Structure 1
Amino acid sequence: MSQPPRRIAHLDMDAFYASVELLRYPELRGEAVVIGGRSANAPVLRADGTRDYARLRDYAGRGVVTTSTYEARALGVFSAMGMMKAAALAPDAILLPADFDSYRHYSRLFKAAVAGIAPHIEDRGIDEIYIDLTDHPDETRALAQRIKDAVRDATGLSCSIGIAPNKLLAKICSDLEKPNGMTIVSYDDVPTRIWPLPVRKINGIGPKANTKLIALGIETVGQLAQAEPKLLQEHFGLNTAQWLRDVAHGHDTRAVVTSSEPKGISRETTFERDLHAKHDRAALSDIFTRLCMRLSEDLQRKRYAGRTVGIKLRYADFHTVTRDVTLPQPTADGATIRRAAGECLRRVPLEQRIRLLGVRVSALTPLDELTQQRQPVQGDLFERL
């Protein structure tokens, strides 16, 4: 008996963080709202029961936009944009601080709702999943609507879903009719639905590759599909050229992976102002300690320990350095992570000001598999300065 054609869905929550905030502040619906900044940007409740909201024009600092509503995006404000640049584009936009505990709560709700209908899920982050619907008995469009309705009933939020023969096309399609979209394509639809799109719409073609393709006169997926193999190979190499040809024709054989072990867990922060290792030693030590302790909490919550502890520093000139150390046995203990991170810190230059600091634990092992734990070891950071 022949195998049924693959039906792979990509479900993406619509402006997820911002949409969660609008559940809390429904009066902001239809407004340009930017999520980011500090807790000091939280709304202030007035005596008459109304709220006083911070405005983007009043922001001063080094933060970046976490996300924005579609109304703010229409003004040019997108995630990962510097807040000061966003303020220049949309000074009257309302500014709200991020609440990741709330976002994780709603993430669990929407994934549980989907799993109750179609359990073959690949978790791709807090606001998106792949779903293998190949063996599901329901008709495709009715099934997609059932999933969307279940997500809204569980969370009060909308999502967009793309269904296609593979993950590549499904992810592209989930973005075509946002918000609250539903897009279903087959291989026969690739020339009409996919080829007119910019090449950057293909997941895996980043800014550098996009710039290089445009320089070659290749701006759309269709132009990439028709490009001479020799031209692509000359500029991208044999393997990447083959991949570009495959994805331009909508080919992707990756399976939906329903369970996987994380490679590493990390915590990092970008400072509101650049900090100097000597002049701001106390502040840096406190920040570093809190990163290590929160990373420890993440590991224990996810039931992992790791042998490799690493740090990441980004200097004021945006140069980034990393260092790591491998421990004799896995740990999830905050004091042990802090001491190992301190050892890594001693191996990097600390003359320049620092704009970002991060800590990572990798080479993970499930805690349930460990028979013994290391004892906590205290250590002072930045002690040599």
Structure 2
Amino acid sequence: MFMSSQQNHIAHLDMDAFYASVELLRYPELRGQAVVIGAGAAHQPVLQADGTRSYSRLRDYAGRGVVTTSTYEARALGVFSAMGLMKAAKLAPDAILLPTDFTAYRHYSKLFKAAVSAIAPKMEDRGIDEIYLDLKDQTDDIAIVAQRIKDAVVAATGLSCSIGVAPNKLLAKICSDLEKPNGLTILAAADIPSRIWPLLVKKINGIGPKSAEKLAVLGILTIEQLAMCDPAVLQANFGRVYSAWLMRVAQGIDEREVATRSEPKSISRESTLERDLHAKLDRNELSALFTHLCERVADDLVRKDYLGRTVGIKLRYADFSTVTRDLTLPDPTNNAQAIRQAAGECLRRVPLDKRLRLLGVRITSLSKPGGVLPTIAEQGELFAAQ
């Protein structure tokens, strides 16, 4: 039975290839090319005497970095976020490689959110490049409101976004991805069989690659097949809690509200691996991803103006068992190096003899800055002494 809140209009706004799009504002000559973001400052473009710029190529990269994001042209070659740059170089050796610039990304994030909030103030911030909006109190036609929001984002930033409008957050997030880039998709509850059910199960946020593979073994490839599956079969393969969730989301049911004013209790980033990796045999790839997650957590702290004191990790093994470990620091921080070293200490306290399918980093005990933070050097000395 489908969810019934047909008058509820929840929008999910997702900026299109956000980091890469910000870079293309700076380097417009790269439009239409395969561009990968994720390198360090050593790969900064060089201005030539004739006024042109020379760029690093992905084939020239050597190190343990990971892809932060990529343009749609690079994605067409198989290069996606959280992939190791060395692996990406094998897929797209001629792609342009640019360093990350989180200061610029945060600037444009603030610009687009301010523009949107002037039209739709009931906003849930979900990250540097995505938000949920509660539009049920809007008096104009919802398509007009959504287009007005898209136009405001372009006017404020020069960047495009994709918006999905649906009766709940689950469906809105799916819809925002259906017509990327620069898409606008509006869905009613009655549209679920025709527009949502034909999609692959991996389109549901929360069904990762391993779960999708396990469903495929059961002959479940589409959301419709999941919706029609015998609940007993799902429970036997996924357990009581996760199978119940699978049945609900396949029917388009999601009762979460747009959280406009809640204070976060924790900030976390995690990644479900494309394939199961072994901590020793795949050490370089896992280490690069681990560092990347810590950097993203630190960036979230800075963007949301928080410090955190308790750093934690989450590991999920190939057999779906999960372990967590935490470490409380002497002082709160938002520094990526400090978070990475604390997370590394946690990592030393977990078994690493089995293959991993998920890696996560979180920080809790959040507080607002109340004084001068330790410098990077001071924080490095702190952890060196431990």
Choose which of 21, 24, 32 in structure 2 pairs with 1:22: 24
2:301–2:334 CA contact under 8 A, matched in 1 = no
Deviation at 1:82, TM superposition (A): 1.2
1:299–1:332 CA contact under 8 A, matched in 2 = no
Amino acid at match of 2:332: A
Choose which of 95, 101, 106 in structure 1 pairs with 2:103: 101
Partner of 1:87: 89
Deviation at 1:381, TM superposition (A): 3.5
1:331–1:374 CA contact under 8 A, matched in 2 = no
Partner of 1:247: 249
Q: Which secondary structure does the structure 1 equivalent of 2:68 belong to? A: strand
Partner of 1:226: 228
Q: Which secondary structure does the structure 2 equivalent of 1:131 belong to? A: strand
Deviation at 1:251, TM superposition (A): 1.0
Partner of 2:57: 55
1:11–1:161 CA contact under 8 A, matched in 2 = yes
Partner of 1:332: 332
Deviation at 1:88, TM superposition (A): 1.1
Q: Which secondary structure does the structure 1 equivalent of 2:384 belong to? A: coil
Paired with 1:249 and 1:343, the residues of 2 have a C-alpha distance of: 38
Deviation at 1:91, TM superposition (A): 1.0
Partner of 1:152: 154
Q: Which secondary structure does the structure 2 equivalent of 1:35 belong to? A: strand
Q: Which secondary structure does the structure 2 equivalent of 1:231 belong to? A: helix
2:6–2:189 CA contact under 8 A, matched in 1 = no
Aligned length: 340
Amino acid at match of 1:194: I
Paired with 2:374 and 2:68, the residues of 1 have a C-alpha distance of: 37
Deviation at 1:324, TM superposition (A): 3.6
Paired with 1:92 and 1:185, the residues of 2 have a C-alpha distance of: 40
Partner of 1:215: 217
Choose which of 162, 165, 172 in structure 1 pairs with 2:164: 162
Deviation at 1:211, TM superposition (A): 1.2
Change (3 A) 1:10 1:35: same
Choose which of 46, 49, 56 in structure 1 pairs with 2:48: 46
Higher Rg of the two aligned structures: 1
Deviations, residues 178-209 of structure 1 (Å, cap 9, x unaligned): 00000001111111111111000001111221
Confirm or deny that 1:263 pairs with 2:262. Answer: no
Structure 1 gap segments, 5+ residues each: 269-287, 314-319, 353-357
Partner of 1:67: 69
Deviation at 1:364, TM superposition (A): 2.2
Q: Which secondary structure does the structure 2 equivalent of 1:258 belong to? A: coil
Q: Which secondary structure does the structure 2 equivalent of 1:65 belong to? A: coil
Change (3 A) 1:300 1:236: closer
Paired with 1:334 and 1:150, the residues of 2 have a C-alpha distance of: 31
CA RMSD of aligned residues (A): 3.8
Paired with 1:36 and 1:321, the residues of 2 have a C-alpha distance of: 29
Change (3 A) 1:222 1:4: closer
Paired with 1:373 and 1:36, the residues of 2 have a C-alpha distance of: 29
Deviation at 1:57, TM superposition (A): 1.1
Partner of 1:128: 130
Taking structure 2 as the reference length, what is the TM-score of the superposition? 0.77
1:342–1:382 CA contact under 8 A, matched in 2 = no
Change (3 A) 1:197 1:348: closer
Q: Which secondary structure does the structure 1 equivalent of 2:233 belong to? A: helix
Partner of 2:274: none
Deviations, residues 43-69 of structure 1 (Å, cap 9, x unaligned): 100001000011111111111111111
Deviations, residues 120-152 of structure 1 (Å, cap 9, x unaligned): 000000000000000111101111100000000
Amino acid at match of 1:89: L
1:166–1:253 CA contact under 8 A, matched in 2 = yes
Taking structure 1 as the reference length, what is the TM-score of the superposition? 0.77
Change (3 A) 1:190 1:69: same
Partner of 2:13: 11
Amino acid at match of 2:191: D
Partner of 2:191: 189
Deviation at 1:262, TM superposition (A): 2.4
Q: Which secondary structure does the structure 2 equivalent of 1:364 belong to? A: coil
Amino acid at match of 2:265: K
1:323–1:344 CA contact under 8 A, matched in 2 = no
Deviation at 1:299, TM superposition (A): 6.1
Change (3 A) 1:374 1:7: closer
Deviation at 1:332, TM superposition (A): 3.5
Which stretch has the larger CA shift, 372-381 or 214-223?
372-381
Paired with 2:95 and 2:372, the residues of 1 have a C-alpha distance of: 49
Partner of 1:119: 121
Choose which of 238, 243, 246 in structure 2 pairs with 1:236: 238
Deviation at 1:263, TM superposition (A): 2.7
Paired with 1:74 and 1:346, the residues of 2 have a C-alpha distance of: 37
Paired with 1:103 and 1:374, the residues of 2 have a C-alpha distance of: 22
Paired with 1:175 and 1:343, the residues of 2 have a C-alpha distance of: 32
1:263–1:364 CA contact under 8 A, matched in 2 = yes
Change (3 A) 1:36 1:326: closer
2:227–2:247 CA contact under 8 A, matched in 1 = yes
Change (3 A) 1:104 1:345: same
Paired with 1:301 and 1:157, the residues of 2 have a C-alpha distance of: 19
Paired with 1:343 and 1:127, the residues of 2 have a C-alpha distance of: 25
Deviations, residues 148-175 of structure 1 (Å, cap 9, x unaligned): 0000000000000000000000000000
Q: Which secondary structure does the structure 1 equivalent of 2:155 belong to? A: helix
2:302–2:334 CA contact under 8 A, matched in 1 = no
Change (3 A) 1:235 1:367: same
